[in-house]
């Protein structure tokens, strides 16, 4: 399948399956039905149906045979028609903070483009990035990582940086679907997302783990301790690795760097200043969410409403009809809903219990046991998405510590090794947002995910365990 066919997660108005891929679609559907039937020998009917839906949705999202919103809509229809779970569980995505962060991100992107603020930011960045393609990718990636220390929301960071980098790619002369444009957008998305798992308040799974640790074990997580444990390898090391992968997969010539006009010679217009104030106030509330306890999603929604207000002049009057990609919103709602249904059915707990009883833990090797624990958590992440790892694994930490002979802290921190290693884009809302805002190919994002997953598993995870040994963690 070409990149053009998969260029937008929301698909096109015409839904079609490539002729040479029809057999794969039928195979996925038949396999899902077989899995549902066979698993009824071991699971309840609700759990069997959930397993079949889980397989079908994940496989269809991973292969991009059909637009990503179709499996999500199919999930909603099947789950409600069969009363698989209460409606508030099936449609959990639509009242989650993440969903409305994604919506507000689309509005912000439209507003930044409408007001011309992206042009101004683009010119400022050109002074930093230089003339070489390799240097541009590296500097974008490090700039994106720096944002993770400032903005606590992964989706929020993507919302800020992707429209600016997209405009920058235009000014540098990189056409749509070119390697240069794709590489720049991927450096921005992965640069601000992947290393953030090593920075405590920077991603949702980190904060969920910290919150559950305090609630269940009365053990608050220190910002610096968490950073020391994870950032040297899973943060900085991961960034260097992903930058190398992007340069390898998407090589291109140096940018033309032909700017059409000099933004610095003009004063900021009133409309630009107005949008800048809205964004700054929104980011200020995001920075201080631990103080006021207002979810970032609702803060973003309020800011989006201000941008959409007709007399504000911050967006086009047809923004809600033309600039919002509803296919992506359905996709995000489906991902979150699937995770909620899986948790409601108890399938995640069954998976963990089955794996812990089947996995051959060693009484003599902490390294092997940590690797096996990471494998279990990785399986949970694939089934329930990233936030499912701390939700399912944290309450079982003491039990797993008894089985493996590891400290409870080592068991708990092993979750980070798993949920920081993303296998496919559907697991991570920030990547979904980047695909939507940057019009990135799912195929391109999946390539980076799969290669980074492979190299992290082979190189970075063993290196991180050695780092933990130096810190007397194991």
pLDDT above 70 covers a percentage of the chain that reads 87
- Out of 31-45, 124-138, 314-328, the most confident range is 31-45
> What's the pTM value of the predicted model, to 2 decimals?
0.70
Give how far Cα 447 sits from Cα of 46, 186, 381, Å. 34, 11, 18
Given 299, 328, 357, the domain boundary residue is 328
- The two most distant CA atoms of the chain are separated, in Å, by 72
Residue 318 and residue 361 share a domain = no
Single out the residue of 232, 221, 223, 222 nearest to residue 390, CA to CA.
221
What pLDDT, on the 0 to 100 scale, is given for residue 5? 35
Express each pLDDT in 295-345 by its tens digit.
777 888 898 899 899 888 888 888 888 777 787 788 778 877 887 787 788
Single out the residue of 10, 176, 187, 172 nearest to residue 106, CA to CA.
10
Residue 141 and residue 247 share a domain = yes
Read off the pLDDT band of 424 (50, 70, 90).
confident
In a domain, 89, yes or no: no
In a domain, 39, yes or no: yes
Tally of domains in the chain: 3
Q: Which residue has the tokens 């798993």?
A: 418
In a domain, 73, yes or no: no
In a domain, 426, yes or no: yes
Long-range contacts of 360-365 (CB under 8 A, 24+ apart): 361/403, 361/404, 363/405
**Terminal CA-to-CA distance of the chain, rounded, Å?**
46
Read off the pLDDT band of 241 (50, 70, 90).
very high
Please report how many Cα atoms fall inside a 13 Å half-sphere around the Cα of residue 121, on the Cβ side: 20
What domain range includes position 31? Answer: 17-66
Q: Can you read off the two tokens belonging to residue 222?
A: 């220190």
Residue 399 and residue 295 share a domain = no
- Average pLDDT (442-461) is 92
Residue 353 and residue 320 share a domain = no
Determine the Cα–Cα distance for residues 185 and 330; give it in Å rounded to an integer: 23
Residue 363 and residue 408 share a domain = yes
Determine the Cα–Cα distance for residues 35 and 51; give it in Å rounded to an integer: 7
Residue 286 and residue 180 share a domain = yes
Residue 267 and residue 128 share a domain = yes
Residue 449 and residue 396 share a domain = yes
Determine the Cα–Cα distance for residues 451 and 448; give it in Å rounded to an integer: 5
More confident residue, 344 or 96: 344
Q: Can you read off the two tokens belonging to residue 17?
A: 């399956």
Does pLDDT of 188 surpass 90? yes
Does pLDDT of 2 surpass 50? no
What pLDDT, on the 0 to 100 scale, is given for residue 236? 94
Residue 253 and residue 115 share a domain = yes
In a domain, 287, yes or no: yes
Do 3 and 443 form a contact (C-beta atoms < 8 A)? Answer: yes
Please report how the helices 429-438 and 97-115 are oriented relative to each other, as an axis angle in degrees rounded to 10: 30
Read off the pLDDT band of 266 (50, 70, 90).
low
Residue 188 and residue 102 share a domain = yes
In a domain, 200, yes or no: yes
Report CA torsion sign: 461, 148, 108, 303: positive
What pLDDT, on the 0 to 100 scale, is given for residue 200? 76
Determine the Cα–Cα distance for residues 76 and 377; give it in Å rounded to an integer: 27
Express each pLDDT in 15-29 by its tens digit.
555 556 677 888 888
Q: What does pLDDT average to over the chain? A: 81
Residue 311 and residue 163 share a domain = yes
Given 302, 328, 354, the domain boundary residue is 328
What pLDDT, on the 0 to 100 scale, is given for residue 276? 85
Determine the Cα–Cα distance for residues 21 and 125; give it in Å rounded to an integer: 42
What pLDDT, on the 0 to 100 scale, is given for residue 289? 65
What pLDDT, on the 0 to 100 scale, is given for residue 10? 43
Read off the pLDDT band of 13 (50, 70, 90).
very low
In a domain, 76, yes or no: no
Does pLDDT of 262 surpass 50? no
In a domain, 303, yes or no: yes
What pLDDT, on the 0 to 100 scale, is given for residue 122? 66
Residue 310 and residue 379 share a domain = no
What pLDDT, on the 0 to 100 scale, is given for residue 452? 94
Given 277, 302, 328, the domain boundary residue is 328
């Amino acid at each position: 399948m070409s990149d053009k066919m998969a260029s937008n997660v929301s698909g096109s108005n015409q839904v079609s399956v490539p002729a040479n891929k029809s057999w794969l679609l039928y195979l996925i559907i038949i396999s899902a039905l077989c899995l549902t039937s066979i698993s009824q020998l071991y699971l309840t009917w609700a759990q069997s149906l959930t397993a079949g839906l889980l397989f079908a949705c994940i496989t269809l999202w991973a292969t991009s045979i059909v637009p990503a919103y179709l499996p999500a809509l199919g999930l909603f229809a099947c789950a409600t028609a069969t009363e698989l779970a209460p409606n508030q569980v099936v449609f959990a995505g639509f009242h989650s903070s993440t969903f409305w962060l994604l919506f507000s991100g689309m509005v912000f992107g439209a507003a930044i483009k409408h007001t011309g603020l992206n042009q101004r930011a683009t010119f400022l960045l050109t002074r930093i990035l230089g003339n070489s393609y390799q240097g541009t990718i590296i500097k974008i990636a490090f700039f994106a990582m720096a944002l993770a220390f400032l903005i606590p929301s992964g989706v929020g960071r993507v919302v800020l940086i992707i429209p600016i980098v997209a405009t920058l790619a235009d000014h540098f002369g990189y056409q749509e679907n070119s390697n240069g444009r794709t590489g720049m957008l991927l450096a921005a998305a992965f640069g601000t997302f992947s290393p953030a798992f090593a920075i405590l308040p920077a991603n949702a799974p980190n904060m969920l783990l910290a919150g559950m640790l305090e609630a269940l074990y009365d053990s608050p997580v220190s910002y610096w301790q968490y950073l020391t444990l994870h950032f040297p390898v899973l943060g900085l090391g991961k960034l260097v690795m992903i930058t190398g992968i992007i340069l390898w997969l998407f090589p291109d010539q140096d940018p033309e760097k032909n700017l059409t006009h000099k933004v610095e010679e003009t004063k900021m217009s009133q409309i630009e200043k107005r949008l800048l104030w809205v964004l700054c106030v929104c980011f200020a509330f995001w920075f201080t969410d631990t103080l006021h306890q207002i979810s970032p999603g609702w803060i973003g929604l309020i800011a989006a409403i201000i941008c959409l207000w007709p007399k504000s002049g911050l967006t086009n009057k047809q923004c809600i009809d033309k600039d919002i990609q509803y296919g992506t919103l359905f996709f995000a709602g489906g991902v979150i809903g699937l995770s909620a249904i899986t948790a409601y059915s108890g399938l995640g707990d069954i998976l963990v219990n089955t794996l812990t009883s089947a996995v051959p833990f060693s009484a003599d090797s902490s390294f092997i046991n940590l690797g096996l624990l990471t494998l279990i958590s990785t399986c949970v992440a694939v089934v329930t998405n990233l936030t499912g790892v701390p939700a399912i694994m944290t309450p079982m930490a003491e039990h797993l510590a008894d089985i493996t002979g590891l400290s409870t802290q080592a068991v708990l921190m092993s979750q980070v090794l798993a949920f920081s290693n993303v296998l496919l884009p559907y697991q991570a809302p920030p990547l979904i947002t980047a695909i939507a805002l940057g019009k990135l190919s799912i195929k391109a994002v999946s390539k980076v995910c799969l290669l980074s997953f492979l190299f992290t598993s082979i190189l970075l995870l063993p290196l991180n365990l050695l780092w933990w040994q130096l810190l007397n963690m194991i």
